[in-house]
Amino acid sequence: MTLRTTFLVQPFELHRKRLRPARQEPAQSEFGALKKAEALAARMPGAAALKIVADDETGELEGVTILGQFGEVPEDFAETLLGN
């Protein structure tokens, strides 16, 4: 089992007065994800920087960490990541 760490930015857009996820963007590092999320939140309602650890062979998710949130992010965003 080989664990792989990836970094993503999840921006959010307004649709019918509700926040919804927009297209995810990859980042090269934790720092890059935080900077990209902050920049996206300046022109969109909000964004979150994520660290994702998954099994490289099976794709099974080992864990998701929210590195930072900028602007408006849905209140239940953390819960949806955990699958609750």
Q: Is the dihedral of CA 55, 7, 65, 82 positive or negative?
A: negative
pLDDT at 81 over 90: no
Taking residue 69's Cβ as centre, other Cβ atoms within 10 Å add up to 19
The predicted-structure confidence for 1-58, as pLDDT tens digits, reads as follows 799 999 999 999 999 989 999 999 999 999 999 999 999 999 999 999 999 999 988 8
Neighbour count for residue 46 (Cβ, 10 Å)? 21
pTM value is 0.89
Q: Which residue has the tokens 């999320």?
A: 37
The kind and range of the H/E element at 10 are: strand 3-15
Confidence grade of residue 79 (pLDDT, cut at 50, 70, 90): confident
Question: Tokens standing for 70?
Answer: 């900028």
